[in-house]
Amino acid sequence: MKPSDELHQLIKNLSMSEKRYFKIFSSRHVIAGENNYIRLFDAIEKQEEYNEPKIKAFFNKETFVTNLPSEKHYLYNHVLDSLTAFHKDRTFLTRYCNIIMKIEVLYNKGLFDQCKKVILKAKKEAYFIEKFSILKLIVRWEILVYIKDEDVKKLYETFDEELRILEVIRVQSILMRIAFKIQIEMYRGKVSTLFLRTQEAELKKYFPPKKEVDTFWLRYYFHSSMGLIYSIENKAAQRLICYREINSLLENTKQFIVDLPHIYQSNNNNLVNLMFAMEKYDEVMPMISKQRSFMQTHKITNVTLSKMVFIHTSESELFLLYKLSETKEGLAVIKRIEPELKKISLLFSPAIFDLFFMMAVITFCEEDYRAAIKWLNKILNTEREANIRIEQRINTRLLYLIILFEKEDLFFDNQYQSTKRFLDQEKKHPGAKRILEAIKYISDGKQTATKKEKLKQLYKKIKTERDKAQADSIDKQFDFVEWIESNIH
């Protein structure tokens, strides 16, 4: 059985401040074998990929290593305890967990006036940043206080308030469900017009919203859902309006960006991708710069999110340089990002393989075939372990084949057969088979007039399919159509 690497993943996702705090926290909370735990922490932290045999070899003279799984389990929970202490009051949820505890303690102590003060202050902030699930808990404590006070007027007002909060939560849940329902149908394949019109009609029952349920989340899920619908219908301009509405919602209340940085990052990334789809290249770089700086601007510390921002913005910058035919500048970007990229585990996120692919595209365009193959092999060698999109796996193989053709590699025929077998198993991607067929025609040195005409017809079909593709499917990818066109003689 493969040793668990969960502790390694946890430690590698700690920020420098969190690691430093762990050492301080450990010194304050004396535990058996304290030094051993810190030493184990340090040894695991130094490994880029978790290697338990090396850990055992390093501590082979220590008695604690004989029961390493339980020691790792204890250390894992100890690290979580230090993180809990470090982030106390840093986020809304941790802050309000502590506030709810304070309310409960004051109530149980019979200090009801003090309890009410904490409740009213907490309610004010919770309303401001629309944390209605927490509000429900706070209001329920307020009801208990008014029951104790026998304040009938306040009691009934708070009962009504609780019902309003529940209605807000109910409506939000309906719109959230619609958004995910559309997304799930997209993942499953072709979405019917009837399905879209049904979902749109349901959405418009709640928008524009009534004043009593008009919240950030209602507007967010409405615009997210409509954005998905416009994506399926290839209506880029309307989709752009939805993404900008979401951006405004977040930026109008800065605390939302602090509390929901992943949503802000994701929406910014959607905006960048849409600019690419609409070929508004002059607007992309300022958006990438904004995307890169928002965590520092809002003083957000999140190691995982920081890595995602790095991956997405690096990929976008490389794709922009590719589309602008400035691939030489792309080599400089690769040189700049490569040291940081080496610090990220290959299994961190499938997004890392999209970045590898774009690095392969840039190096291929600059005729550095060896480097291009190196980046593509990163994808091919990890696809069994990582959840890489099938479209990316297909495109990786097609680009690999093109590189072998361009460098006149004798391995081309073997790779062609391998790619053909792979695509024969993927019945849902006939367009990829046509690209493969075109590559084969181009690679054939003995082209007859008939073959040339077939290649031209194949090219027209591939180009038509690409032009009809939905905006949502326009990934940051290599332009196979352009390459085929350049090889038609």
Q: What is the pLDDT of residues 276-308, one digit of tens each?
A: 988 899 999 999 999 999 999 999 988 899 999
Boundary of a domain, candidates 150, 167, 192? 150
Boundary of a domain, candidates 234, 259, 284? 259
Q: What pLDDT shows up at residue 92?
A: 64
Q: Are residues 54 and 110 in the same domain?
A: no
DSSP label of 51:
-
- Measured from the Cβ of residue 71, the count of other Cβ atoms closer than 10 Å reads 19
Q: Are residues 249 and 332 in the same domain?
A: no
Residue in the structure block whose two tokens are 């690095």: 359
Q: What pLDDT shows up at residue 180?
A: 95
Q: Are residues 283 and 356 in the same domain?
A: yes
Q: Are residues 21 and 80 in the same domain?
A: yes
Please check the confidence at residue 130 and state whether its pLDDT lies above 80: yes
Structure tokens at 302: 């999140």
Q: pLDDT band for position 470 (50/70/90)?
A: very low
The arithmetic mean of pLDDT across residues 345-365, rounded, is 94
Inside any domain, residue 443: yes
Please check the confidence at residue 190 and state whether its pLDDT lies above 70: yes
Please check the confidence at residue 403 and state whether its pLDDT lies above 80: yes
Rounded Cα distance between 351 and 292, Å, is: 16
| SS3 per-residue string spanning 186-197 | HHHCCCCHHHHH
User: 203 with 154: CB under 8 angstroms?
Assistant: no
Closest CA to 50 of 27, 68, 23, 38: 68
Structure tokens at 2: 């493969």
Q: Are residues 486 and 404 in the same domain?
A: yes
Q: Are residues 265 and 373 in the same domain?
A: yes
Estimate the share of the chain in helix, then strand, then coil, as percent rounded to the nearest 5: 75, 0, 25
What SS3 class is residue 61? coil
Q: Which residues, 6 or more positions from 487, have their beta carbon under 8 angstroms from its beta carbon?
A: 442
DSSP per-residue letters across 106-141: HHHTT-HHHHHHHHHHHHHHHHHTT-HHHHHHHHHH
- Measured from the Cβ of residue 7, the count of other Cβ atoms closer than 10 Å reads 21
Structure tokens at 69: 């799984």
Range of the domain at 73: 6-86
Inside any domain, residue 231: yes
Inside any domain, residue 375: yes
Q: What pLDDT shows up at residue 99?
A: 87
Q: What pLDDT shows up at residue 471?
A: 42
Q: Which residues, 6 or more positions from 151, have their beta carbon under 8 angstroms from its beta carbon?
A: none
Q: Are residues 229 and 170 in the same domain?
A: yes
Residue in the structure block whose two tokens are 């040291």: 339
Q: Are residues 265 and 375 in the same domain?
A: yes
Q: What pLDDT shows up at residue 34?
A: 54
Least confident of 92-106, 286-300, 441-455: 441-455
The CA–CA distances, whole Å, from 228 to 143, 184, 190, 225 equal 41, 11, 13, 5
Q: pLDDT band for position 428 (50/70/90)?
A: confident
The arithmetic mean of pLDDT across residues 184-197, rounded, is 88
Inside any domain, residue 1: no
Inside any domain, residue 166: yes
Closest CA to 361 of 430, 315, 405, 394: 315
Q: What pLDDT shows up at residue 87?
A: 79
Mean pLDDT across the chain: 89
Q: Are residues 361 and 281 in the same domain?
A: yes
Q: Quote the radius of gyration of the chain (alpha carbons, Å).
A: 28
User: 119 with 103: CB under 8 angstroms?
Assistant: yes
Inside any domain, residue 48: yes
Rounded Cα distance between 435 and 445, Å, is: 18
What total number of domains does the chain contain? 5
Element (H, E) at 388: none
Percentage of the residues of the chain whose pLDDT score is greater than 90: 59
Q: What pLDDT shows up at residue 90?
A: 66
Inside any domain, residue 297: yes
DSSP label of 488:
-
Q: What pLDDT shows up at residue 96?
A: 80
CATH assignment at residue 308: 1.25.40.10
**More confident position, 303 or 178:** 178
Structure tokens at 374: 């190196």
Boundary of a domain, candidates 62, 86, 110? 86
Rounded Cα distance between 351 and 394, Å, is: 16
Q: Are residues 33 and 22 in the same domain?
A: yes
Q: Are residues 110 and 183 in the same domain?
A: no
Q: Are residues 200 and 249 in the same domain?
A: yes
